[in-house]
Structure 1
Amino acid sequence: MSDDGPEAAASLLGMDNLTRFLRTWGAPCAAAVFFTLWCIGEAGRMGGSFLVWPGAPTLTALTLAIGLAAAVPLASLVLAVLLAAALLGHLAGPLSSDWAIYLGVGYALFFASLNPKTRAWHGPAAALVFSGAFAFLMVSRQYGSGVGWLGVLGVARPTMFAYWLMVSGLLLVIMLLCWLPGMALRLREERGWLTGARLKAEENLRHAEIDLVVEQERNRIARDLHDVLGHSLAVIAAQADGSRYLGKDQPKPVLNALENIAVAARRALADAQRVIDGVREDSLERAPQPGLADLDTLIAQMQAGQLSIERTESGAPVELETGQQLAVYRIVQEALTNALRHAGRGTAVMIHLDWSGPGLALQIGSRGAAPEGGAAGGPGVGAVSGSAASDSGEQGGQPERIGRGIPGMRERANLAGGWLTAGPDGADFRVTAFIPYSAAAVSPVVASAALPAGEPALALGRAGE
């Protein structure tokens, strides 16, 4: 496992939690335990009162130094050093138990090292001063040349300097051994911070690279759409206008058709430009989307394309969510477009919206002239490969092209919380959709009750497809 990966950052989490716990609660708890244990151990020598015990000032000061070590490390270390300078003059002999109280400075060093504000040299400097002062007072203050301590240590009367050097070195090692574990924990925590910051920076860099690639791809798609689609639509509009102005003697239906072509091309050009801008600026979803209020405009446009459309409604209209209104609009738009494409001009289309059930029941049926070479009453609304003819994979001996109309409509209905079916119904081709009033999906059995009277419940058994 690499030390530079996310696994390394995760492995540091437990140690970081330990460091934070020691920094927050460790020092106060250690100070309380230190004070309590010494009071218990020296209870028989206190003479019935803590205040008259000679070690009381030292124990109190060291307890305070330990308790404040993590919060205010510099003040704690200064207090510990001052103890060595001011209080060690009362150092007891080697057979006494009081002198070991001063080794509590090591606890203060440990907890002080956990604070990020503590400099790396603070601990060694305090340990050096304390060890030197402690050893000096042990040798020279009460026992002169250290005879009393030498007997206990088994040292054969060295010089005072050699004895001081030996004791101060031993004390310095003990103090540094108390300082270094805390520094190791703190450095490990800082390493975790740095690792987390580096991983965050790498993640941001990856996101920036992805955003850059996406932006470049958007610009490429926008350029291609502008160069190909925009140019073609502009040419169609220009040629339709030119043909209309040059052919003034043409029959009125021809002129109307040319005008409709030009208007539709310009409208498509505007829509294409909106899509291009949305692709380039990532603002397509923030642009206004069509809804139920735009159905009349859509029907008028398709009627100009020689479709005979009748729209009916039953029940009291209910306000649908924005996404549901867009789904209804796109389903109607796709169904009418497929009716014009597959059934041809002059096709009669019926659109019925029923608001009386637990959701909007939408039915779109078509009947009219089939495309050239097809039978009357052939595929109409939504007639693409989702029809029964395409289910066999062939029609008239030719493989049927896989279409996108019905799957797209069905997906929009599903995203709106409903369902959609499409298929032939006798001589008609019918699209049936249900959009619930709530976000929860409604089963086809419940929705079937919302179908308008007299209309066949087309393909309800396949509603779950």
Structure 2
Amino acid sequence: MASYFRVHEGLPTAYLVSYELITNVALIAAAIALGVSVRLRREARAQAERITALTAEAAVRQAREHAQDERVQLARDLHDVIGHTLSVVSVHAHVAEEAIGHDDGAARRAIGAIQSATSPALGELRGTVRVLRSDAGPSAPSPGLAGLGALVTSIREAGIAVELEQAVAEGGLSAPIEAAGYRIVQEALTNVLRHSGASAVQVRLVLEGERLRIEVRDDGRGGDAPAGHGITGMVERARLLGGTVRAGAQTGGGYLVQADLPGRLGA
């Protein structure tokens, strides 16, 4: 508009085009560029704030999911430890009750077996309590396959013949796989002790390629899967690690638990 009226007033067109018009256009372009820049900065700031909020929300959700996973894991461990220990204690308490006054030696051995079973269980429970009381502590340590010897001994002392075949080299498994393998065997043997009426059980662990195969087979009465959370816990443990568990009665009697786990996480 300024250029138009200046031309109308008689100013030279060359002057207006070469100087004033170019200057005015440059100023207008600068104002537009400044406005666009401010708008883009505001949008970028708003976008950054949205990303920060979403990131924080995702972190909170992930922390909650992790906490829930930890609680479920602790619940499984408590179920396995307490269930196995109380089953062993119950068997030996009955032995001691029947032996008192008739065979004091057998009664003392039964009480000694109870003490042997409860001592490590109390240690695991204390570790779990420490984890529960901690705001952000490491998970309670879980036993590995090295603990199977003591586990089998406790079952033998309860009057069940146990044959253990363990063909897994030391260090051949990831620690979580070892812990899961131990817990699966522990729960399977606890079910044998509680439900099967078996006199003998075979436990087999072998590393075939990159897969850990576990079998716990008893000569009991078979039947349907025992009620409770034991079988469910075994299945969940295996699934979380990329494995499977199958359990069922066998033709001709007995019960079989089979687990297939990766030897190492990611395998």
TM-score, scaled to structure 2: 0.65
Q: Residues 424 and 189 (structure 1 numbering): CA distance in 2 closer, same or farther, change over 3 Å?
A: same
> CA contact under 8 A between 2:207 and 2:263: conserved in structure 1?
no
Residues 249-268 of structure 1: pairs in structure 2 closer than 5 A: 251-268=104-121
Structure 1, unaligned runs of 5 or more = 1-92, 109-174, 223-229, 368-376, 386-400, 442-465
1:71-82 equivalences in 2 (<5 Å): none
1:335 CA drift (Å) = 0.5
1:336 deviation in Å?
A: 0.7
Structure 2 residue 225 is matched with structure 1 residue 384: yes
- In structure 2, the CA distance between the partners of 1:191 and 1:95, relative to structure 1 (3 Å rule), is closer
Identify if the C-alpha distance between structure 1 residues 199 and 363 changes in structure 2 by more than 3 Å, giving closer, same or farther. same
- Per the TM alignment, residue 338 of structure 1 is displaced from its structure 2 partner at its CA by 0.9
Determine which structure has more spread, i.e. the larger CA radius of gyration.
Answer: 1
Give 1:140's aligned residue: none
Answering whether residue 153 of structure 2 is matched by residue 309 of structure 1, we say no
Aligned equivalent of 1:434 = 260
Which whole-Å CA distance do the structure 2 matches of 1:251 and 1:352 have between them? 36
SS of 2:189 mapped into structure 1: helix
Q: Does 1:421 align with 2:246?
A: yes
Aligned-pair identity (%): 28
Q: CA deviation at 1:103?
A: 4.2
Offset of residue 350 of structure 1:
1.0
Q: Equivalent residue for 1:194?
A: 45
Aligned pairs for 1:38-437 (under 5 A) are: 94-96=12-14, 99-101=17-19, 103-105=21-23, 175=27, 177-200=28-51, 202-203=53-54, 206=57, 251-279=104-132, 280-285=134-139, 287-313=140-166, 319-344=172-197, 347-355=199-207, 359-367=211-219, 377-379=220-222, 384-385=225-226, 401=227, 403-425=228-250, 426-437=252-263
With over 3 angstroms needed to count, the CA separation of the structure-2 counterparts of 1:215 and 1:326, relative to structure 1, is closer
Q: With structure 1 as the length reference, what TM-score do the two structures score?
A: 0.40
Change (3 A) 1:101 1:255: farther
**Aligned partner letter, 2:192:** A
Distance across 2 between alignment mates of 1:273 and 1:415: 25
1: CA distance between counterparts of 2:52 and 2:182? 44
- In 1, are the aligned partners of 2:225 and 2:248 still within 8 Å (CA)? no
Return closer, same or farther for 1:411/1:97 CA change in 2, 3 Å cut-off.
same
Measure the CA separation in 1 of the matches of 2:240 and 2:151: 22
Cα distance in 1, alignment partners of residues 261 and 59 from structure 2:
39
Partners in 2 of 1:195 and 1:313 — Cα distance? Answer: 60
SS at match of 1:96: helix
- Measure, in 1, the Cα distance between the counterparts of 2:65 and 2:51: 21
SS for the counterpart of 1:433 is strand
Over residues 75-115 of structure 1, what are the superposed CA-to-partner deviations in whole Å (9 max), with x where a residue is unaligned? xxxxxxxxxxxxxxxxxx6232675345444565xxxxxxx
* Greater per-residue strand proportion: 2
How far, CA to CA, are the matches of 2:36 and 2:240 in structure 1? 53
Contact map agreement 1:274 1:284 (CA 8 A) in 2 = no
Distance of aligned partners of 1:105 and 1:325 in 2 relative to their CA distance in 1, 3 Å threshold:
farther
**Partner letter of residue 248 of structure 2?**
G
Find the aligned partners of 1:316 and 1:273 in 2 and give their Cα distance: 30
